[in-house]
Amino acid sequence: MRDLTRLLNPKSIAVIGGGVWGRSVIAQCQKIGFEGPIFPVHPSAQTLAGLTAFRDISDLPMAPDSVFIGVNRHATIDCLGKLSELGAGGAVCFASGFLEAQNETEDGEALQEALLEAADEMPFIGPNCYGFVNYLEGAALWPDQHGGARVNSGVAILMQSSNIAINITMQQRGLPIAYAVTVGNQAQIGMSEIGLALLRDARVTALGLHIEGVGDLRAFEALAAEARRLGKGIVALKVGRS
């Protein structure tokens, strides 16, 4: 099992891509009060959202803990390779057009294989992933607005639907949320593996799952067994058909 600590609980964040998505990630981190350094990466911009930008991943002053990759699918593969070589803690791959789009693209499967090869041992969430918000540390690798606030403890919610996730993050009533995480097409890390990492955070009181399909039944069984061992509940909502 991979160590997802740096990815999900970062002390430093890099944002690759200068479009509206990348700028929004920076803005949301600033909004929720992330206290660590944020490093924008863009080949031509000198600043992004008021922060000094770096031309290339190789120019970063340190290996970031968590990285939001907001560029196209081909560039995402190149970025993952560079981040892995640098020793980054992990990444969120926002781009789509990989295996989840195999009915629409002829190269989706091949690109997903290239993505996995480029990442090597470095963990990543996605692709086709909206990211996550860690309300405990104030880390929002999230390319949209959110309505949450910092908490000291709360429930963790894992979702396969970005639309559901957007609605969840805009709620300001109900249980305190410690993590809101989207899993994308789960090329490398599945929902159950992320769920295990979140459950083992002492600040997480319970786990919520919005499930479209369970790909690895044995991993899901391990997640349920660990939740029982820890005395933490799982509430799962299964929608559609797998």
Show the tokens assigned to 51: 């922060």
In angstroms, the CA 18 to CA 143 distance is: 12
Place domain 5-125 in its CATH homologous superfamily.
Answer: NAD(P)-binding Rossmann-like Domain (3.40.50.720)
Between 24-38, 79-93, 96-110, the lowest mean confidence (pLDDT) is in 96-110
pLDDT over threshold 70, residue 26: yes
Most distant CA pair in the chain: distance in Å? 51
Per DSSP bridges, beta strands 204-211 and 233-238 are parallel
pLDDT over threshold 70, residue 189: yes
Which residue from 160, 91, 97 is spatially nearest to 121, judged by alpha carbons? 91
**161-184: pLDDT as tens digits:** 877 887 777 766 778 999 999 999
All residues at 6 or more sequence positions from 23 whose CB lies less than 8 Å from its CB, including other chains: 48, 49
Fold of 132-238: Rossmann fold (3.40.50)
Global pTM exceeds 0.75:
yes
Task: Say which amino acid occupies 228.
Answer: R
In angstroms, the CA 119 to CA 50 distance is: 30
In angstroms, the CA 72 to CA 61 distance is: 24
Grade residue 86 by pLDDT with cuts at 50, 70 and 90: very high
In angstroms, the CA 33 to CA 146 distance is: 13
pLDDT over threshold 60, residue 242: no
Mean pLDDT calculated for residue range 36-63: 95
Question: What are the residue ranges spanned by the domains of the chain?
Answer: 5-125, 132-238
